[in-house]
Amino acid sequence: MPSLQGRRALVTGASQGIGRAVALRLAQEGAAVAINYHTSRAGAEDLVAAITSAGGTAVALAADVSDGEQAEALVQGTVKALGGLDILVNNAGITRDGLLMRMSEEDWDMVLDTNLKGAFLCTKAAVRHMVRQRWGRIVNMSSVVGVTGNAGQANYAAAKAGLIGLTKTVAREVGSRGITVNALAPGFITTQMVEGLSDEVRARVVERITLGRLGSPEDVAGTVAFLAGEDAGYITGQVIGVDGGLAI
């Protein structure tokens, strides 16, 4: 039997990239999945079609997770559509890169609001349901740059580092209720963000990766699926690098 049979999951920012791969993997493991999107309705609906055509259950739900009312409505909509909520993957994220001296306050706020505040709002809403059922899995998508920092990404790195602090704190608060909270710190994954790099830059990046290759969204999705299941029931408050050894 699939490892997540009967579970209900919400994946934010799931219309493309890592979020899409995570949603697909959770569905393959038997979970019913709510696909959150903000702007890419077509991508979300395509993903729902892919899951349902394979015999799974999925629904697309639009929401800007940085808005408190929309985040709350997203969680409530998931519960209504799927009959409950067991797994939350806070994956929604954006970048607005630039050196600190040139970074606008707007670009700082936009990245922190989506990447960090959005996770806070969705977690706060989801925990209410998980506490009542005394079971839950929350996985926050941090980044290797939240651990190491990265020039030109002060806003992104700060948000991802903040997710690590949020992960550890919420894990302490809800552990007695059977809820685990963990973070992943992916490295360079072959998504649209990385595909925009020049061949020269990509080659330099690969040289720094112990395993000698870029990661795939499926590499990340497999780790999420593990953390969402019963076998990870004694793991909480952890930051797991999925970076091919980049941060060693």
Which two three-digit tokens encode residue 130?
A: 């998980």
Cβ-Cβ contacts under 8 Å for 172 (sequence gap 6 or more): 237
11: number of Cβ within 10 Å = 35
SS3 182: strand
Please spell the DSSP secondary structure of 78-102, one letter per residue: HHHHHS---EEEE-------B-GGG
Reported residue count of the chain is: 248
CA-nearest of 112, 114, 245, 229 to 185 is 245
95: number of Cβ within 10 Å = 16
Q: CA 199 to CA 235: how far, in whole Å?
A: 38
Rg of the Cα trace of the chain? 17
Please identify which of the residues 156, 157, 170, 209 carries the catalytic annotation: 156
Is residue 156 among the annotated active site residues? yes
Cβ-Cβ contacts under 8 Å for 106 (sequence gap 6 or more): none
Strand ordering across the sheet containing 136-141? 58-62, 32-37, 8-11, 87-90, 136-141, 179-186, 239-242
Residues noted as catalytic: 156
